[in-house]
Structure 1
Amino acid sequence: MSRRGGRVVPVAAAAFLVLALAACAPTAPTAPPVEDGLPDGVTAELQQGRSDVAARQAQVVVTNDTDETLVIGAVEVDDPRFDGALVRVEDRESSIGPGRTVGIRVQLPGVACGDGMSGDGASTLTLAYTLGDASGTASAVIDDPLGFIPPLHERDCRAVAVEDAAHLSLGDFDPGGPGEPATLVLSVAPTGRGEVVLTGIQTTNLITFGDVGGSAIETYPIGMAVDGESPGLTEISLPIVPLRCDPHAVQEDKRGTIFDIEVEVAGEPGEIELAASEDLRGEILTWVADWCGFGS
């Protein structure tokens, strides 16, 4: 017994009550451990097809060589060359029958760039699965058999360096008169921070450059150096004409309005991609169809 302020407190009873309440308190669930390696008979690799490029996605291609149905839930890929995890595009489950292969789309985040960062690295897959009566979460290093990550990392880090020096965009578009080149404007807005040399802009699979020396060319010369002392916005008028006039080239177009810009960053030559906006893409495709005589 204990006496406090004239009151008698049964210490043993109070201690018992505390222990009883602690025993009744809910316990936070413990996450199941992540298994090292995929289940026997299950393999996976990371691939990027042509249809994945525009959406900046890839696919975790999972093969089930077991005798039971494999169900895949959450999917995540960690890779030091990206500034975040590659996560599943759709919040759903995928059932993969025995002997079947399924591609699960993941979204690519931005790349991680900086001193000492290279295109080399390893991708680690973590997935939730159910296989027969077994279920859990497994993790394993997976291959990039087509080798799409190193060039993507190099290209995107180059684009980051260019963006630090100048904001590039495709802006005004003038269809021009019948049979004459249209005019597409390339806008260059220096930031005052970095340095880059814009050497040229290449044709696409749908568009080439006309009215340069009387003939079409594969690369339109720019020859513009940008640094901290460059003036403000510069607009470069590009004379363009259709490279081809088969209707399916327009109807099935995916990359006809994505231009490769030739640049030099820190003395190293390379290329970055510059895409037209969706509205501008529509204008250009309509112009190609009218030019070629199969527009509405």
Structure 2
Amino acid sequence: MRDRRAGLAALVLSALLSACGNADGDTGGDTDADPAKTPATTGIPTLTVSPLPEEPPTGRLIAEMRQSSRDAAAGRMEVWIDNDTLESVTPARITYYDDRFRTPLQGERLREIPAQSTRGFQFPLPPRPACGTTNDAPVSLDDPRGSVRVEYAGRTETLLVADETDVAGRYTRARCLELAIAKVARLSWSDEVTPGDPEAVAPGTEAVLTLVVRTSGRPGPELRIDTVSGTPVLSPVGTDAWRPDASITGDAPGTRIRLPLKPTRCDAHAFAESGGATAFKIGLRLDGEPGQITLRMSPAGAANAIAFARASCGMLEAVGSQG
């Protein structure tokens, strides 16, 4: 809303400035005209540009869902609240309600929202959402599934939360799939990324990433691991994606799937934006139904993987700069 007002003001100002160029009539006449008939000075009109009237605020609080890659890695989502009023608002409590979660979620980092400003509030995502067919329902932007109750200054307001990228829905569907997979096997990444010692890695060296499969010990549906995708920093060797083509059942022995690994690219920009550098997407089928999960490395494994990539890129001196 405020951006539209600024754009309109710029458009009007541009039109007024264009009009100034022709304020004295046609300036493209004969340059050899009699100087006696030409005024000694040319008057320059003075234009007063009145500011456009400000569109009045709606007097409402407006909520929308967002999630950055860092939020996703930290297991949280954010609700941003636009205070489109003339007074500051300082929430004492913000509670998120959604039938895809078993209980309401409490907002964190509560702080003042100045008038005509927006602030984001974090909500940790629950490890066990309410799994079921309700999570497969299509998202309607006109009928949001979630809402927040904002308590401030003795007042309580309930706001529908616009979720254009389906943050809550994507999380619950993925997490419910992970819980179903866990009945067959638990998947994780080994912390060791061979060769393990970055100081022994020569530029151009390849390594091995290991997917650890710990079966549940119970019979049940078959889990097939079809593909594993690389990341902006770490990639498979010689192909666009790993294709383990592994078939797993809960009553079979566990296994370790070795995936040849190399850096995706070696520019500093790739490492600077490596929030998803060690989060790998796994394409699979559970009991014949296709799905996809994102499997992240542990902090220790991620540090080893990034150290390997830097060393293989000849950037070992920068390892210590990674937080």
Task: Give the TM-score category using the shorter length.
Answer: 0.7 to 0.9
Q: Cα distance, 1:145 vs. partner?
A: 2.6
Q: Is the CA contact 1:170–1:186 (under 8 Å) kept in the aligned structure 2?
A: yes
> In the alignment, is residue 83 of structure 1 matched against residue 108 of structure 2?
no
Q: Quick check: 1:243 aligned with 2:260?
A: no
Q: 2:71 maps to what in 1?
A: 52
Distance 2:122 2:149 in 1: 14
Runs of 4+ in 1 over 4 A off after TM superposition: none
Quote the offset at 1:286 in angstroms: 1.1
Q: Which residue of 1 aligns with 2:135?
A: 118
Instruction: Give the 3-state SS of the residue equivalent to 1:279 in structure 2.
Output: helix
Letter in 2 for 1:207: L
Aligned length: 246
1:62 matches 2:81? yes
Deviations 1:220-249 (A, max 9, x none): 11112222431x221111110111001232
CA shift in 2, pair 1:293/1:180, >3 Å: closer
Higher mean C-alpha displacement, 96-105 vs 107-116? 107-116
CA contact (8 A) 1:164 1:191 kept: yes
Give runs of aligned pairs for residues 1-296 of structure 1, distance below 5 A. Answer: 40-90=59-109, 92=110, 94-120=111-137, 122-130=145-153, 135-171=154-190, 172-175=192-195, 178=202, 179-193=204-218, 194-195=220-221, 196-210=223-237, 216-230=238-252, 232-296=253-317
Offset of residue 292 of structure 1: 0.8
* Stretches of structure 2 lacking an aligned partner (at least 5 in a row): 1-57, 138-143, 318-323
* Residues 286 and 114 of structure 1: CA distance in aligned 2, closer, same or farther (over 3 Å): closer
| Cα distance in structure 2, aligned partners of 1:115 and 1:68 | 42
Aligned residues of 2:80 and 2:118 also touching (Cα < 8 A): yes
Tell me, in whole angstroms, the C-alpha distance in 1 between the residues paired with 2:188 and 2:69.
24
TM-score normalised per structure 1: 0.76
Q: From the two aligned structures, give the one with the greater strand fraction.
A: 1
- Greater Cα shift, 249-258 or 236-245: 249-258
- 5+ unaligned residues in a row in structure 1: which ranges? 1-38, 211-215
Normalising by structure 2, report the TM-score: 0.70
C-alpha contact 1:82 1:110 (8 A) present in aligned 2 = no
Check whether the contact 1:201–1:259 (CA below 8 A) recurs between aligned residues: yes
CA contact (8 A) 1:76 1:126 kept: yes
State the SS of the aligned residue for 1:159: helix
Higher helix share: 2
1:57, 1:108 within 8 Å by CA — same for their partners in 2? yes
Share of identical aligned residues, percent?
A: 26
Q: Secondary structure at the match of 1:70?
A: coil
